[in-house]
């Protein structure tokens, strides 16, 4: 039996841009492929991040002729998943179609309603995938397979959830099976780094309870955070350095800073190895201490990304359930600045209860914390989350992830879009610019590791424009109207 796992986001995060910025490899299906390979299953990975057309996917399917095709589904690109499913039905009509990932976990009963989809896998799938594929091959009863939803005789059947796996028993993600792996290594993500960049996930789960995210993440990874042993994480790091010659390392864990003892053991191992990597991590602002930042500095951790979300305390408390104070956010950014760690603030605008004033609070916070980067999004709660169930959506809007999807009392979709761009522009003025040595590393790394000309020019143009006075002149309307308001 031939199995293909597909990451079906055609064109990556920015399908209209000629190059991809800030992307990481699809570790979920790479873990599944590694487990299948261990069990002697004929498996391949198809990753549409770098494909511009659906014809490319069709061609891959025709070449590979899989009997089973499994797709990762994230809610924002579920439309792409459905397009890929349609193409699969047409091109490989007898293939079984399986959907997994965050969206499938959040809405399994909705997803299974689609006639073209055979099986939905709920949550973490390394323990489910082999029994499921065996059952399909041997035509045994799917009811015996834990963690799935399927249809039989017009009825939907959901089986019980399996135990969460021991992460120590997992193989490393099958990086060498991904035909596009090298392309990922060559991309420069939001974090300032020298390519090739390696990506690792060292823990699974998150102990927090943000209203726009949970219970989806708990449904995937369980109620308790599971930490891989520092030894296993460091072994994977060794492999990344020896096999892929990485120069930078990014931990994609939701919160690298929640378990100090564990984190310090990993830091010790990295320090001892002295690979000279540039390191980036994500953390929750209230969990960063000066002592931790000091440790980060010693391992050359140059970048931290925080979920700041809003600069208004009421929105953070009552709407998002973030359990985070503005003072804690300010403190974390100050600690990073003192330790020369570049910062990224991830932000959301257009949350229920947001007004122009609360959004201005976010702008004012940016002026105080002066992040090096921002990652700005329209608020888009995950299906099934507390916020999702409480907000009113505009049904005429076909995209839940852009301005106007959530109905707001005091801001129109047009005003929200204006505010979105205004913050992007205003932030260019208030941000702390990355130091010169970062620009040099960036340029040097790019030259050394073989960027294509287009990618280099586009990214270089981005950095130039980023700081350009011309941009403010051309688009100054928003910037100055914002200035006048506080």
**Footprint on this chain of ligand B12 (rule: CB under 6 A):** 5, 9, 13, 23-24, 26-29, 31-32, 70-72, 74-77, 98, 100-103, 106, 121, 124-126, 129, 201, 213, 216-217, 220, 252, 254, 377, 382
User: From ligand B12, ligand SF4, none, which one binds at residue 319 (CB under 5 to 8 Å depending on kind)?
Assistant: none
% helix, strand, coil for the chain, step of 5: 45, 15, 40
* Distance of alpha carbon 220 from alpha carbon 215, whole angstroms: 9
Binding mask 184-213 for ligand SF4 (x = CB under 6 A): ----------------------x-xxx--x
Ordered alpha helix ranges (H), 65-189: 78-91, 102-106, 108-111, 126-138, 181-186
Taking CB under 6 A as the criterion, which residues in 4-33 touch ligand SF4? none
Q: Is the bond into 416 cis (omega within 30 degrees of 0)?
A: no
State the sign of the Cα–Cα–Cα–Cα dihedral 226, 229, 233, 239: negative
Q: Is the bond into 257 cis (omega within 30 degrees of 0)?
A: no
User: From ligand B12, ligand SF4, none, which one binds at residue 208 (CB under 5 to 8 Å depending on kind)?
Assistant: ligand SF4
Regarding 384 and contact with ligand SF4 (CB under 6 A), the answer is no
Nearer to ligand B12, 225 or 479 (CB): 225
* Distance of alpha carbon 252 from alpha carbon 283, whole angstroms: 10
Q: Which residues pair with 278 in a beta bridge?
A: 248
CB of 208 to ligand SF4, least distance (A): 4
Among 236, 253, 254, 286, binds ligand SF4 (CB under 6 A): 254
Cα 317 to chain centroid distance, Å, stands at 24
CB of 166 to ligand SF4, least distance (A): 22
Nearer to ligand SF4, 10 or 386 (CB): 386
Q: Give the length of the chain.
A: 486
* Distance of alpha carbon 27 from alpha carbon 248, whole angstroms: 17
User: From ligand B12, ligand SF4, none, which one binds at residue 185 (CB under 5 to 8 Å depending on kind)?
Assistant: none
User: From ligand B12, ligand SF4, none, which one binds at residue 214 (CB under 5 to 8 Å depending on kind)?
Assistant: ligand SF4
* Distance of alpha carbon 162 from alpha carbon 145, whole angstroms: 9
Regarding 423 and contact with ligand SF4 (CB under 6 A), the answer is no
User: From ligand B12, ligand SF4, none, which one binds at residue 184 (CB under 5 to 8 Å depending on kind)?
Assistant: none
Q: Which residues pair with 119 in a beta bridge?
A: 98, 150
Taking CB under 6 A as the criterion, which residues in 296-315 touch ligand SF4? 307
State the sign of the Cα–Cα–Cα–Cα dihedral 263, 265, 271, 274: negative
**Which residues contact ligand SF4 by CB under 6 A?**
206, 208-210, 213-214, 217, 254, 284, 307
């Amino acid at each position: 039996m031939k199995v293909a796992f597909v990451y079906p986001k055609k064109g990556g995060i920015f399908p209209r841009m000629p190059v991809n910025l800030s992307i990481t490899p699809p570790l979920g299906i790479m873990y599944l492929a590694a487990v299948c390979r261990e069990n002697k299953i004929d498996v391949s990975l198809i990753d549409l991040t770098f494909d511009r057309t659906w014809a490319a996917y069709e061609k891959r399917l025709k070449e590979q002729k899989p009997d089973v095709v499994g797709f990762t589904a994230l809610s924002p690109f579920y439309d792409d998943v459905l397009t890929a499913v349609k193409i699969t039905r047409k091109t490989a009509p007898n293939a079984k179609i399986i959907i997994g990932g965050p969206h499938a976990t959040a809405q399994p009963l909705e997803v299974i309603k689609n006639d073209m989809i055979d099986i939905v896998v709920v949550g973490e799938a390394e323990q489910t995938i082999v029994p499921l594929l065996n059952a399909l091959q041997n035509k045994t009863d799917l009811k015996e397979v834990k963690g799935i939803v399927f249809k039989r005789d017009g009825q939907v059947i959901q089986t019980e959830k399996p135990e969460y796996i021991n992460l120590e028993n997992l193989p490393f993600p099958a990086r060498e099976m991904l035909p596009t792996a090298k392309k990922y290594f060559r991309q420069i993500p939001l974090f300032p780094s020298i390519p090739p960049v390696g990506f690792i996930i060292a823990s699974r789960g998150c102990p927090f309870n943000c209203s726009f995210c949970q219970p989806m993440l708990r449904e995937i990874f369980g109620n308790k955070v599971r930490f891989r042993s520092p030894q296993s994480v460091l072994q994977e790091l060794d492999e990344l350095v020896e096999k892929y010659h990485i120069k930078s390392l990014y931990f994609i864990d939701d919160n690298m800073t929640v378990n100090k003892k564990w984190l310090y053991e990993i830091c010790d191992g990295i320090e001892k190895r002295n690979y000279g990597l540039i390191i980036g991590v994500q953390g929750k602002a209230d969990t960063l201490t000066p002592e931790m930042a000091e440790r980060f500095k010693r391992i050359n951790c140059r970048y931290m990304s925080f979920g700041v979300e809003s600069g208004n305390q009421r929105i953070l408390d009552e709407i998002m359930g973030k359990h985070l104070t503005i003072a804690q956010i300010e403190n974390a950014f100050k600690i990073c600045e003192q330790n020369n760690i570049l910062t990224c603030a991830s932000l959301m605008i257009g949350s229920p209860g947001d007004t122009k004033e609360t959004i201005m609070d976010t702008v004012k916070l940016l002026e105080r914390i002066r992040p090096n980067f921002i990652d700005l999004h329209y608020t888009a709660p995950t299906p099934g989350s507390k916020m999702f169930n409480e907000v009113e959506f505009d049904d005429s809007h076909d995209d839940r992830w852009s301005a106007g999807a959530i109905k707001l009392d005091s801001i129109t979709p047009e005003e929200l879009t204006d505010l979105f761009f205004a913050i992007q522009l205003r932030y260019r003025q208030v941000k702390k610019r990355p130091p010169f040595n970062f620009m040099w590393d960036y340029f040097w790394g790019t030259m050394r590791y073989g960027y294509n000309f287009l990618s280099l020019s586009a990214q270089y143009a981005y950095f130039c424009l980023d700081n350009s006075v011309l941009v403010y002149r051309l688009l100054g309307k928003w910037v100055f109207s914002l200035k006048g308001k506080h």
